[in-house]
């Protein structure tokens, strides 16, 4: 039983980190309609900033700089590139983001070099024990931070003018604009929020039980894509549910692979998230909590 609980906690704690990344995808898509394929590189950028700055200014100030830096890069990508697209269609924006991802990732790979850079998190490699179950302290902190972050997002979207404006802009941009909502402002807020979430996720993704920042972190961030898609492209709560579901599925399938391999083969833990995503999309094409597409006939 403790083994089962260990794997459940492994899955849920990792799933919460995936939720942070998936929520970033969802917020950018909701606020600007862009499939942000550069999000993985922004996750890496946030972690990289903490890794290079913490030896001189300390972990927490480095974290603040990383949050601001990742948010700023997101805002600049939107202001300088996305908004100036000659053909502002979602397809063109997606291709643009693939290009941005290549540029960012190449530069970060060049800077990181052949190293694995520790982020210097104060919890180090310590663990919290719940009876027989040991969970990395970093993951416990991640769970707490994630819950606070999502509570703040809920408050923003449901209780503030800015958040309500963002939802209105997402639902019907032209009408929202006619109602006096500045679309440029809601878009910039969305990109900045996604950048902040990416930086937070980047730090948790690269602190124990991971050793530090390496270029593959950008690829690891793409493990959140099934969480984003099955949660619903435009739903932050969906991203949370999706992240938890994917984390749990991966951990349990990996944990019980020895019992499952007779009919599923080895390595199914890597495939399982995508199988779950496909099954969910077959039943609910808009994802678990995504908006249904309205078709006028």
Partner 1 sequence: MKHLPRTCALTAAAVTMLSLAACSTTDPNASGEGGGGEGDVTTGSGVTDSEITVGMLTDLSGPFAAGAAVQVTQTNAYWDQVNADGGVCDRDVVVDVQDHGYDPQRAVTLYRSMAPDVIALQQVLGGPTSAAVLPLAEQDDVYVGGVGWTGSALQYENNQLPGASYAVEAANAVDYLVDELGVPEGGRIGVVYFAGDYGGDALAGAEHAAEERGVEIVAQEITSQTTDLSAQASALVQADVAGVVLAAAPTQLASLAGVLATQGADIPIVGMNPTFNPSLLGSPVADALLANAYSITSVAPYASDAPGVQAANELYASVAPDGDVGWEVPLAYVQGELLRQALEGACESGELTPEGVVAALQESSSVDTDGLLPDGLDYSQPGQSPTTTVYVSKVDADAEAGLALLEEFSGPSAESFSYGG
Which of 72, 219, 278, 279 binds partner 1 (CB under 8 A)? It is 219
Q: Angle 268-283/236-255 helices, nearest 10 degrees?
A: 140
Buried b (16+ CB within 10 A) or exposed e, 226-244: bbbbbbbbbbbbbbbbbbb
Size of the site for partner 1 (CB under 8 A): 67
- Alpha carbon of 49 to those of 88, 188, 220, 265: distances in Å? 31, 21, 18, 40
Least distance (Å) from partner 1 to the CB of residue 147?
19
Would you count residue 98 as binding partner 1 (CB under 8 A)? Answer: yes
* By the rule CB under 8 A, 58 interacts with partner 1: no
Q: How many CA atoms lie within 13 A of 220 on its CB side?
A: 22
Contacting partner 1 within 145-184 (CB under 8 A): none
* Interface pick for partner 1 out of 131, 174, 180, 258 (rule CB under 8 A): 258
* Residue from the set 80, 113, 131, 262 that interacts with partner 1 by CB under 8 A: 113
What does the angle CA 185 – CA 195 – CA 247 come to, to the nearest 5 degrees?
Answer: 130
Q: Are 230 and 246 in contact (CB under 8 A)?
A: yes
Instruction: Measure the CA–CA gap between 81 and 76, rounded to whole angstroms.
Output: 8
**Which stretch in 85-93, 145-153, 160-168, 190-198 sits in contact with partner 1 by CB under 8 A?**
85-93
Distance between CA atoms of residues 236 and 242, nearest Å? 10
CA separation for the pair 47, 276 (Å, rounded): 29
Binding residue for partner 1 (CB under 8 A) from 46, 220, 227, 231? 220
Out of 38, 75, 104, 117, point to the residue binding partner 1 (CB under 8 A): 117
List phi, psi (to 5°) of 152.
Answer: -65, -40
Nearer to partner 1, 68 or 264 (CB): 264
Taking the least distance from each CB to partner 1, the nearer of 185 and 292 is 292
The two three-digit tokens of residue 186, written as one number: 């809601």
Decide if residue 291 touches partner 1 (CB under 8 A).
yes
Coil, strand or helix at 213:
strand
Q: Any contact of residue 81 with partner 1 (CB under 8 A)?
A: no
| Residue among 71 and 249 whose Cβ is closer to partner 1 | 249
Q: Is 232 in the site for partner 1 (CB under 8 A)?
A: yes
H helices within 173-267, ranges in order?
Answer: 173-178, 183-206, 216-221, 225-231, 236-255, 257-264
Name the residue among 41, 13, 20, 31 with its Cα closest to residue 228. Answer: 20
Cα–Cα distance for residue pair 260/256, rounded to 1 Å: 6
CB of 89 to partner 1, least distance (A): 7
- Judged by CB under 8 A, the residue of 83, 140, 222, 281 near partner 1 is 222
Q: Is 186 in the site for partner 1 (CB under 8 A)?
A: no
Residue 274 as a binder of partner 1 (CB under 8 A): the answer is no
Question: In angstroms, what is the minimal distance from the CB of 68 to partner 1?
Answer: 25
Q: Which spans of this chain sit near partner 1 (rule: CB under 8 A)? A: 3, 6-7, 10-11, 14, 33, 35, 89-92, 94-95, 98, 106, 109-110, 112-118, 121, 124-125, 127, 134, 136, 205-212, 214-217, 219-220, 222-223, 232-234, 250-251, 254-258, 266-267, 269-270, 286, 290-294
């Amino acid at each position: 039983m403790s083994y089962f609980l260990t794997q459940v906690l492994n899955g849920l704690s990792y799933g919460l980190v995936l939720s942070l990344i998936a929520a970033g995808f969802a917020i950018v898509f909701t606020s600007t309609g862009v499939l942000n394929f550069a999000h993985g590189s922004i996750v890496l950028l946030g972690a990289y900033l903490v890794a290079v700055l913490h030896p001189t200014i300390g972990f927490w100030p480095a974290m603040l700089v990383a949050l601001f830096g990742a948010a700023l890069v997101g805002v600049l990508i939107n202001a300088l590139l996305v908004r100036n697209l000659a053909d502002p269609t979602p397809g063109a924006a997606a291709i643009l983001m693939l290009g941005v991802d290549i540029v960012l990732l190449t530069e970060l790979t060049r800077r990181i070099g052949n190293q694995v850079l520790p982020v210097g998190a104060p919890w180090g490699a310590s663990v919290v024990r719940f009876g027989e179950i040991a969970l990395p302290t970093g993951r416990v902190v991640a769970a707490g931070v994630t819950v606070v972050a999502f509570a703040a997002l809920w408050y923003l979207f449901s209780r503030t003018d800015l958040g309500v404006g963002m939802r209105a802009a997402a639902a019907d941009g032209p009408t929202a604009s006619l109602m006096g909502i500045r679309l440029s402002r809601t878009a910039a807020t969305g990109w900045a929020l996604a950048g902040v979430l990416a930086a937070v996720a980047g730090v948790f993704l690269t602190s124990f039980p991971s050793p530090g920042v390496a270029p593959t972190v950008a690829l690891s961030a793409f493990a959140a894509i099934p969480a984003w898609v099955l949660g619903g492209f435009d739903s932050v709560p969906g991203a949370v549910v999706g992240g938890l579901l994917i984390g749990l599925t991966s951990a349990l399938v990996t944990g019980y692979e020895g019992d499952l391999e007779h009919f599923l083969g080895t390595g199914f833990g890597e495939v399982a998230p995508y199988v779950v995503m496909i099954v969910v999309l077959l039943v609910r094409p808009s994802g678990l909590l995504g908006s249904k597409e309205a078709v006028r006939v």
